Homo-oligomer: A and B are copies of this chain.
C-alpha cells in the first residue's frame, strides 16, 4: 500500500542506494539527481520505515528518559523540554518510570532499554555505584540530572547555594527558628536535592551564627500531602518555628494549607519559602527558588545530542554542569513575629 524505497527509486530512475543518500541529505549526490529523488518521494508521499532504517543503520534514534514518575509537575515539565529538543533533532524519547526500590531493582535486572535506545537521561533515580557500572556496560550514552555520579555528563543545580538563598532570605527577615520540610530517601545521598539543600540550609544558619536544631528538619513525601503532613508535625513542636523552607513548592503548598487550617496568618505568624517556582506559586503568592525546568530539560537534551554526536565513549567524558536558579520573593515571607503562638494540635 504505502510506497517503499524501491518505488521511489523506480520513479526517479535511480538505485535505492541513491534514494537513501539523497533523502538523508548525504553528500556525493548530484544536485539534479537529488531533485529528481525528492520529487519522486514527494509524489509518492514516501516516508522511510523507521524500524527498517534503524535496524540497518544500527542506531535507535531514541533516547530513554528515566525518571521516578510521569505526571508530577517537575517531571512533566522536564519531559516537555527534553522532548522538544530531541524531537527537533529527529530523536524519539521514551519514558521509563522507576518510582521505587523494587522498580529500580527490576530495571537493573532487565535493562529494558537494551538495543532500544542510543542514550539514557537519568533524572532523580538513585542508582548505586554498582548500578552505574552495569549501565555503563550496557553500551548506552548516559547523561544525568539531579543525582550523585562520579563522572560523566552530569547536570545539577547549585543546590547548596540555592537553599542558602532561601534560608538567608528568612534570616534577613529576622527569623531565627526556621523549619525545613525535606524528604526521606530510600537510598540516601544519591538524589542530590534533599541532602544538598539541607546542607545549604545549615551552612546559611551557621554563617548567621544561628544554632541548628535537628528537630526543625522534618521529612515527608515530596508531595502536597507529604508537605502538609510534615508541616503538621513541625508546627506541633513545643517550640515551633516562625518560618519554613520546603524542598519543593508542592510541600510548601501543603504547609500553607496547614497554616490556614490552624489559623496562622502567612506571613504574619509563619513565613514560607518553597522551591521550584511551580506554575501556581505565583498565584498563591509563594516565595520560592525558581528553576526553569523546561529550559533545564532542553539543556540536558542538548548535552545528550552533543555526547551522541561526539562519538566519544561516555565513560571518557567528565562534565559536571550547573544549571541556574534564582530567588523569587513574593507575599508568603515577611518579618518574624515577636508574639508567641500556641502549638498546633
Q: Are A97 and B70 in contact (CB under 8 A)?
A: no
Q: CB within 8 Å of B: which of A71-119?
A: 71-73, 75-77, 79-81, 83-84, 92-95, 97, 110-111, 114-116
- Chain B residue contacts of A279, Cβ below 8 A: 224, 250
Chain A binding surface, main DSSP class: helix
Q: Are B283 and A50 in contact (CB under 8 A)?
A: no
Task: Give A297 Cβ to nearest chain B Cβ, in Å.
Answer: 9
Pick the interface stretch among A52-60, A178-186, A267-275.
A52-60
The yes or no answer to A24 lying at the interface (CB within 8 A) is no
Q: CB within 8 Å of B: which of A20-73?
A: 47-52, 54-55, 60, 69-73
Q: Are A115 and B47 in contact (CB under 8 A)?
A: yes
Of the candidates B51, B80, B94, B97, which one forms a contact with A51 in the assembled complex, judged by CB atoms under 8 Å apart?
Answer: B51
Minimum CB distance partner of A87 in chain B: B97
The yes or no answer to A150 lying at the interface (CB within 8 A) is no
Pick the interface stretch among A10-18, A236-244, A253-261, A299-307.
A253-261
- Chain B residue contacts of A52, Cβ below 8 A: 51, 55
Of the candidates B69, B80, B283, which one forms a contact with A71 in the assembled complex, judged by CB atoms under 8 Å apart?
Answer: B80
The yes or no answer to A321 lying at the interface (CB within 8 A) is no
Q: Are B60 and A51 in contact (CB under 8 A)?
A: yes
- Chain B residue contacts of A93, Cβ below 8 A: 95
Minimum CB distance partner of A47 in chain B: B114
The yes or no answer to A151 lying at the interface (CB within 8 A) is no
Measured in the bound complex, the distance between the Cα atoms of B95 and A81 in whole Å is 13
Copies in the complex: 2
The yes or no answer to A210 lying at the interface (CB within 8 A) is no
The yes or no answer to A316 lying at the interface (CB within 8 A) is no
The yes or no answer to A280 lying at the interface (CB within 8 A) is yes
The yes or no answer to A2 lying at the interface (CB within 8 A) is yes
Interface residues on A, range: 35 or more
Task: Give A21 Cβ to nearest chain B Cβ, in Å.
Answer: 20
Task: Give A159 Cβ to nearest chain B Cβ, in Å.
Answer: 23
- Chain B residue contacts of A110, Cβ below 8 A: 47
- Chain B residue contacts of A92, Cβ below 8 A: 94
Measured in the bound complex, the distance between the Cα atoms of B60 and A139 in whole Å is 24
Q: Are A294 and B71 in contact (CB under 8 A)?
A: yes
Minimum CB distance partner of A283 in chain B: B257
The yes or no answer to A215 lying at the interface (CB within 8 A) is no
The yes or no answer to A228 lying at the interface (CB within 8 A) is yes
The yes or no answer to A207 lying at the interface (CB within 8 A) is no
Task: Give A77 Cβ to nearest chain B Cβ, in Å.
Answer: 5
Task: Give A68 Cβ to nearest chain B Cβ, in Å.
Answer: 12
- Chain B residue contacts of A69, Cβ below 8 A: 80
- Interface-centre pick from A69, A70, A228, A283 (highest chain B CB count, 10 A): A283
Of the candidates B55, B70, B282, which one forms a contact with A76 in the assembled complex, judged by CB atoms under 8 Å apart?
Answer: B70
**10 residue pairs A–B, Cβ–Cβ below 8 Å:** A2-B139, A47-B111, A48-B115, A50-B115, A51-B60, A70-B80, A70-B83, A71-B80, A80-B97, A224-B280
Contacts from A to B (Cβ < 8 Å): 1-2, 47-52, 54-55, 60, 69-73, 75-77, 79-81, 83-84, 92-95, 97, 110-111, 114-116, 139, 224, 228, 250, 253-254, 256-257, 279-280, 282-284, 294
